[in-house]
Amino acid sequence: MGALSRYNAGGTLDAQAWQKDVRSYTRVIDAGKADYVVYSDRGCALLDLEQPEKALLDFNRAIKMNPGDPALYGNRGDAYAELGKYEFAFADYNRALKIDPVMASVYNNRGQAYLETGDFKAALKDLDRAIELDHKSAAAYLNRGWTYVELDNLEKAVKDFEAALKLEPGSVEILGGLGQVYQEFGYPDKAIAQFTKIIQSDPKSGYAYNNRGLVYQEQGEHEKAYADLEKALRLTPDESGVYNNLGLLFSDIEGKQKDAPAFFTAALKLEPDAPLYLFNRGRAYLLAGKPKPALKDFNKVIGLDPETGLYYGGRGMAHYYLGDLPAALADFNEAAELDPPSAELLCNRAQVHIALEDYKSALADYSSAIEEDPHCAEAYRSRGAIYQDMGQYALAKADSAKARKL
């Protein structure tokens, strides 16, 4: 989710300043001179430092000292939300608004919590109210913009992002969010423009280089993508996601696929046992013609997360390349049970059916793949080949013609 943080939405303080604040408040507390405001302020600084567990302790102490202050409940709600304890977060937000029903910041933060938990109708209601109470809240406009993204309403999302940007011109967070929105809705040139603006104002923004590189990759501009991602890596050498993205780029480039696994290995050194990186490395091994290490990665990722169909689909391909057709079919079936099957999965399972000489099932899978993705040339081509072998020449000719058009 790209929403603004609940606290310090303007992003005017950096980590060093927050750490300095924490030290200052701690000295007051250690001297026995702290009131509830000091505990609350230290809690807010700890939230900015992404230490919600410690912040929660401070907010609890502040509330004990002054249980009638609505802002304290709002702050504690923020800590609970950061910890993913939304039931407690909503309880605190509701209590804050019961005491003071016109707190724009609490409506914004509760709206963001609704957004994060998928209740978009409730999120819109709260964010509309937050903006009504404070029309200069960039955070509320941005959070409402992300809500519209989830509702597939590009026009309203962009309008809100632009309103937020007028309130905070040059904000990296807002420019980057707008770039991600344009990218998601299929406007690569506009996305690139937003990330380029960030780079022009901050040439050391690894975030902007990384995201612009991803857009270039989606457009097939591999040289530009590599230049941006390599720059991002130099600027942020400890960012595992950049290694992952470089691995995905090399996986897409013919002749470079053998080098892709090394990038995922580097990502895994920074985030050991990250399921996504394990899966991507397994896929990279497959593309490099190495099904044995691929199978090892897929086994490990399924052990970590046995409820994601995508991982079984990857392992199914490893089994297929290793010649274990029953195991491949079992994995593809499991993948289709766990998640709605993609056209790619259905085509892969059809290949196994063909190898097992179950042409009826193969036809069914290719037909389902076409229903899932009417632009899947592979499904038309392969289904046409089966029709040809079955002597159904008119159907074969129609599928072949469709495949050529695609």
pLDDT for the residue numbered 11 = 39
Single-letter amino acid, residue 17: A
List the helix and strand counts (H, then E) for the chain: 23, 0
Place of tokens 């490893």: 318
User: In Å, how far are 45, 138, 289 from 49, measured between CA atoms?
Assistant: 6, 21, 44
Place of tokens 């080098």: 259
> Comparing C-alpha atoms, which of 261, 227, 257 is closest to residue 244?
261
How far is Cα 183 from Cα 145, in angstroms, rounded to an integer? 15
> Which of the four pLDDT bands, split at 50, 70 and 90, describes residue 337?
very high
User: Residues near 127 by Cβ (< 8 Å), separated by ≥ 6?
Assistant: 107, 108, 111, 140, 143, 144, 147
How far is Cα 202 from Cα 258, in angstroms, rounded to an integer? 34
pLDDT for the residue numbered 33 = 85
pLDDT for the residue numbered 114 = 98
pLDDT for the residue numbered 7 = 35
CA angle (121 as vertex; 116, 126 as ends), nearest 5: 75
> Comparing C-alpha atoms, which of 91, 116, 88, 97 is closest to residue 6?
116
- Written as six digits, the tokens of 94 are 């509701």
pLDDT for the residue numbered 18 = 85
Q: Are 1 and 173 in contact (CB under 8 A)?
A: no
The number of residues making up the chain comes to 406
Domains of the chain: 1-160 (1.25.40.10), 342-406 (1.25.40.10)
- Written as six digits, the tokens of 240 are 């595992």
Indicate the Cα dihedral angle 144, 147, 153, 156, nearest 10°.
Answer: 0
* Residue 357 burial (CB count, 10 A): 7
User: Residues near 366 by Cβ (< 8 Å), separated by ≥ 6?
Assistant: 346, 347, 350, 379, 380, 382, 383, 386
User: In Å, how far are 6, 171, 301, 347, 355 from 323, measured between CA atoms?
Assistant: 52, 53, 21, 17, 10
Q: What are phi and psi of 319, to 5 degrees?
A: -60, -40
> Residues 158-190, buried b or exposed e (16+ Cβ, 10 A)?
bebbebbbebbeebbbbbbbbbbbbbebebbeb
pLDDT for the residue numbered 376 = 95
What is the SS3 string spanning 168-184? Answer: CCCCHHHHHHHHHHHHH
Compute the half-sphere exposure of residue 289: CA atoms within 13 Å on the CB side of its CA. Answer: 4
> Comparing C-alpha atoms, which of 9, 233, 244, 249 is closest to residue 130?
9
> Which of the four pLDDT bands, split at 50, 70 and 90, describes residue 14?
low
pLDDT for the residue numbered 221 = 96
For residue range 287-327, what is the model confidence (pLDDT) as tens digits? 999 999 999 999 999 999 999 999 999 999 999 999 999 99
> Comparing C-alpha atoms, which of 203, 213, 191, 266 is closest to residue 235?
203
Between 21-25, 191-195, 328-332, 392-396, the lowest mean confidence (pLDDT) is in: 21-25
Q: What is the mean pLDDT of residues 393-397?
A: 95
What is the SS3 string spanning 107-141? Answer: HHHHHHHHHHCCCHHHHHHHHHHHHHHCCCCHHHH
* Residue 404 burial (CB count, 10 A): 10
For residue range 216-274, what is the model confidence (pLDDT) as tens digits? 999 999 999 999 999 999 999 999 999 999 999 999 998 999 999 999 999 999 999 99
Has residue 13 got a pLDDT over 90?
Answer: no
Q: Are 72 and 80 in contact (CB under 8 A)?
A: no
